[in-house]
Amino acid sequence: MPLDYLSTLSATLRGIQLARDTDLADYLIAPDPSSVRLTRAVAGVDHNGDETTIRVVEERPLTIFLNSQEIVTAMTIGDYPAYLALGFLRNQGMLRDDEDITGVDYDEELETVIVRTARATDYEDKMRRKTRTSGCAVGTVFGDMMEGLEGVTLPASPVRTSWLYALSARINRTPSLYLEAGAIHGTVLCRQDKPLVYMEDVGRHNAVDKIAGWMLSEHATPADKILYTTGRLTSEMVIKTAMMGIPVLASRSGFTAWGVEIAQQVGLTLIGRMRGQRFVCLSGEDRLIRDADPAKVADEPRKQGRKGAS
């Protein structure tokens, strides 16, 4: 069965009407589901014993170095390795916003990225403390997870509920690896009702790190941004969002208790279970401007329910 047929079928099965070009016009970076490097066709048998071929997402190691020091090996789909490295180091507090980055060298064959800074770095001690975090796909957070959050104060940027509804509708209709192959997470950097940078990865933490890397490279201001994720609102996601200085984190998935607790501590607006006209806000509700009438928002038919990559 030809793959283009399969992917069209999978999108159709999910009952998702794909976006019009006008919906995609705003994206600075959108998913590239057609990229042959990100998915692989695998042959198998189905429930009837018939041969079938499905597309599955790639998952490859990427070892991140900061100057001469090996920091971590991440499992990633492999797009935007430089953004992933920069964002991971930034969110771990190993790179400063004003860091003088003298080079980022990616070697596809060796599966390594070396980030070079003018400043001499040494995080041996920091790396000795390891925390396995929850949230879909690993986050290895070195050192005290709350480290660096003390200084964080998030701006009181207002958020219109009409933006949230528009973002959710547009993002769910955007062609993506998720619609193509599933088993992947998406995180989207947004401004008002416009999705700007849509990253996907096997690990949700990678998707958000790639966005952090893009922001660092582009010197993007976080104050007027909204972060949307397909995944759960765990402590790790909340901490990363706060570390990035973004005041609002929204998801169609659920919460963990510690994620909520940290969001309340740092004053982050945390919105979850966002489907159709519904959502729940468990922190920072003061930023919300309720300019949209939920009753006028089409609720998601179950068949359009986008499942998270579990």
Q: Which 131-170 positions form the footprint of a second copy (CB under 8 A)?
A: 131-140, 161
Other CB atoms closer than 10 Å to residue 103's CB: what's the count? 9
User: Across-strand partners of 107?
Assistant: 112
Q: How far apart are the first and last CA of the chain?
A: 26
* The binder of a second copy chosen from 110, 183, 289, 298 (CB under 8 A): 183
Distance CA 35, CA 113 (A): 21
Please report how close the Cβ of residue 197 comes to a second copy at its closest, in angstroms: 20
Q: Count CB-CB contacts under 10 A for residue 48.
A: 6
Minimum distance between the CB of residue 219 and a second copy, rounded to whole angstroms?
27
- We find the least distance from the C-beta atom of residue 156 to a second copy, in angstroms, to be 17
Least distance from a second copy to the Cβ atom of residue 102, Å:
25
Cβ atoms < 10 Å from Cβ of 19: 19
**Choices 1-9, 26-34, 178-186, 214-222 (CB under 8 A): range interacting with a second copy:** 178-186
The residues in 184-203 that bind a second copy, with binding defined as CB under 8 A, are: 185, 201-203
How far apart, in Å, are the Cα atoms of 59 and each of 37, 39, 78, 160, 220?
10, 9, 7, 37, 29
* Sites for a second copy among residues 253-292 (CB under 8 A): 253-260, 273, 277-283, 285, 290
From residue 90 to residue 129, what is the string marking binding to a second copy with x (rule CB under 8 A)? ---------------------------------------x
From residue 157, how far is each of 20, 87, 131, 151, 205 by CA, in Å?
A: 30, 23, 32, 18, 24
Which of 3, 56, 82, 152 touches a second copy by CB under 8 A? 56
Which two three-digit tokens encode residue 187?
């995180």
CB of 151 to a second copy, least distance (A): 22
The reply on whether position 31 binds a second copy by CB under 8 A is: no
Comparison of 119 and 278: residue with beta carbon closer to a second copy: 278
Interface residue with a second copy among 7, 112, 176, 234 (CB under 8 A) is: 234
Helix (H, G, I), strand (E, B) or coil at 54: strand
Q: Which two tokens stand for residue 140?
A: 């290895």
Q: Nearer to a second copy by C-beta: 133 or 176?
A: 133
